[in-house]
Amino acid sequence: MTTPFLPFALPEIGEEEIAEVVNALRSGWVTTGPKAKQFEADFASFLGGGVEAIAVNSATAGLHLGLEALGVGPGDEVITTTHTFTATAEIIRYLGADPVFVDVDANTLCIDVNAVEGAISPRTKAIIPVHFAGRAADMGPLLAIAQRHGLKVMEDAAHALPTTSGGKLVGTLESEVTVFSFYANKTITTGEGGMLVTRNAEIARRARVMRLHGINRDAFDRFTAKVPSWYYEVVAPGFKYNMTDIAASMGIHQLKRAYAFQKKREQLAALYDEAFAGLPIVCPPKAANGDVHSWHLYVIQLDGSVSLGRDQFIERMFEQGIGCSVHYIPLHLHPYWRDNFHLTPEMFPVSQKIYERTVSLPLFTRMTANDVARVVAAVKVALR
């Protein structure tokens, strides 16, 4: 019998999630309704800090809603990092604004705060930092820069639940908006989905209206009222970004296990760290002292002494039945961003160097210590 393939990621879905989804299906209310409202309330309570939570069908949707609510539009510039998934930047283009890309810090793999300050122009309206792999960006100095220049900050926290920065949960910092992802491989999942959080009541109101066609009342409110209330008004040209109750049913119970999931990921990461000591591998950056790393990803870098190329390393891992990935192919290498914004690798030397030697190894809560040992053994074989 051959050894089964170990995938890069798998979600952990329990009987509680399954039962809640079945309950939603049997209730007859499968679109945005009571489950979505409960998930929003639970999420706001989980974070604390007086935030409001708006459930959406993807983190991309949440980022789009957040930037729109901040008033970003044609002629504006938004600073973000090249070392991210395209969604972080594409939502800037949705609104007709221009992204300004900066490099990352080699010590954190997150946005380079010094580069941000150097990229500010009279057209700059906002900054979108990305909390990479579950480690928080250097938010204290970044928020200080934003305040000094009168800029808005929206955190891309797709990897960052339950990450902390300066001892506070990401989502409760002093930024205007934070957006989380619940995609299939994230730290908690609803299959597809996301959550926009903010303390600003006006941003929350705008996001709720715009997530459902610009209608001033959602269907659940209209159809469950005690008196006939079919009437609604379209007050803006909105979008179709609402989360279904089926997805929210999963989220309700995934959220309850967020800290247990984080602890398991942390333990797996520690096993990797210990096993890779002495190998020509650069292990992932740790969280700042006193902070929590969500360990969404375990991203290694091949040391400069390794003659083996990154692509060949991944092929050797695959031959041994181990799934790997790369986070990320920087935006400056993708044709759309490269050609339209005249980007070159020389403009982003840190991101480029990281990309050329980085590999994301399997890390998910269903993994066992034996699975980690198998990955480690495969890494050693691949490096020979």
96 Cβ contact list (under 8 Å, min separation 6):
73, 74, 75
What fold does the segment set 15-256 form as a domain?
Aspartate Aminotransferase; domain 2 (3.40.640)
On the question of pLDDT at 320 being above 60, the answer is yes
Active-site residue 264, yes or no?
Answer: no
State mean pLDDT over 237-246. 97
Query: Is the link from the previous residue into 328 a cis peptide, with omega within 30 of 0?
Result: yes
pLDDT above 70 coverage of the chain, percent = 97
Q: Note if the pTM is more than 0.85.
A: yes
| Domain boundaries, given as residue ranges, for the chain | 15-256, 259-383
CB contact at 8 A, 218 and 212 = yes
Instruction: Say what the pLDDT of residue 1 is.
Output: 43
Point out the catalytic residue in the list 186, 256, 286, 380.
Answer: 186
CB contact at 8 A, 19 and 337 = no
pLDDT: which is higher, 226 or 259: 259
- Cα–Cα distance measured from residue 43 to residue 54, given in angstroms and rounded to the nearest whole number: 9
| Alpha-carbon radius of gyration of the chain | 21
pLDDT in tens, 28-61: 999 999 999 999 999 999 999 999 999 999 999 9
On the question of pLDDT at 227 being above 60, the answer is no
What fold does the segment set 259-383 form as a domain?
Aspartate Aminotransferase, domain 1 (3.90.1150)
pLDDT in tens, 113-127: 999 999 999 999 999
183 Cβ contact list (under 8 Å, min separation 6):
58, 59, 158, 189, 191, 192, 193
State mean pLDDT over 226-236. 80
CB contact at 8 A, 64 and 241 = yes
**Considering the chain, what is the average pLDDT of its residues?**
96
pLDDT band at 283 (very low <50, low <70, confident <90, very high): very high
